[in-house]
Structure 1
């Protein structure tokens, strides 16, 4: 592997992280303004429903805040990967080890974020007809329009892609480390 190719790969990964995180944060902001209709009162926006009402538990509100924090952390990580790729001061051996570390951080962060998504999806929401899970409320067309369900599927899909990206970064970093430390001898 050439140093130049790995730098180009990291630049592309940094761009992908930045773009995906921007889209995810914009979907998250848009999701805050979608109305919930199936409650005892008039429709209220999701942001008021999450932060200011007694329809969802404090755990759900806390998970909602942690979810946006994790999205911002992945955006910052994307900028860090991009800046690291543009830096010409890092040698091949150090960059290979850094790729392993970044890949593992991405993988662990994606697992934590997936836990936030799963726990938030299983949080009970109080409605007039009884408790329902938050994820079921997002997928029910009587409660919300189709867009919250699409956004929720996007959040889960992005998280799966982040897990795969973490595995790929780690694998390439390990392979490159092994090639640097034990170069293959040409066969005669």
Structure 2
């Protein structure tokens, strides 16, 4: 498999709008936009190659024509956007688009996505590409631990709070005025 280098170098860069892994049904079109950038100060010619592989075994490798030609030009310090669709007879494999620079005929950059068949999907992505081991963490055990906590939250939220005992309201005390008896000198 071709190593992936982010922002790889002086000969050219390639980007696309596909996620690191996608669900793909073999035989259907896979629409995407591919961006090819020329960071050099001179015009460059490039070719695109699609490589489909599984566990290090190459399943298919083909040149992708651009405007009907194998090689296409990108101006100095410029980029082009290529819209198109790819179609494969395989899934559960790595799809790599390789950018080949004409003068050196070397692969200058690449982009990769994992094609996952619809019957092989789950709510979470598979393990990191290139890693060994299982297809990912078993998240069901975490879900089983969270269900009782969620149920407790529902019970607490729906329980009616007890009313507090009402404290007696303060009573306004009014004093009764007592009139003094008439004095002696009156």
Class of the TM-score when normalised by the shorter of the 2 chains: under 0.3
Higher strand share: 2
Higher helix share: 1
Greater relative contact order structure (CA < 8 Å, 6+ sep):
1
Give the TM-score taking structure 2 as reference length: 0.24
